[in-house]
Amino acid sequence: MLRQYAPPRFRYAEIRGRVLPVGTVPIGSIYRYQAPRAARPRTYMVMAWMPRAYSRINQQARTADFSYLARGGHLALVRDLSNGRLALMADHIIRSRLDD
């Protein structure tokens, strides 16, 4: 398991003499989840936590320009272990499945 610093949900842990916010759902956690329209539950592994990305609208080009990354996003990059596909999943779903 890897520690990810400044995650969305965290607990404080002492690491090398410093108290740092460390995630409550470690990277590498494995859990089962059945999507609402899925026939059976699938097994997922948390790969990374995604930062929040803010963009601003460019009025002249009518596009969204990337401008800022903020820590503490609530989406995790997860891998479906049955077929290897990557997906984004909200932290409240992962935490509810880890409690089971």
Does residue 57 lie in a domain region? yes
- pLDDT value of residue 2: 57
- pLDDT value of residue 24: 72
Terminus-to-terminus CA distance in the chain, angstroms?
20
CA angle in degrees (0–180, nearest 5) for 71-76-77: 120
Domain count, the chain: 1
Q: What is the mean pLDDT of residues 63-76?
A: 70
Strand partners, 54: 68
Does residue 11 lie in a domain region? no
Domain that holds residue 72: 27-99
Does residue 53 lie in a domain region? yes
Worst-scoring range by mean pLDDT, 20-24, 46-50, 63-67, 89-93?
A: 63-67
Higher pLDDT pick, 20 / 66: 20
- pLDDT value of residue 67: 67
- Whether the per-residue pLDDT at 50 is higher than 50: the answer is yes
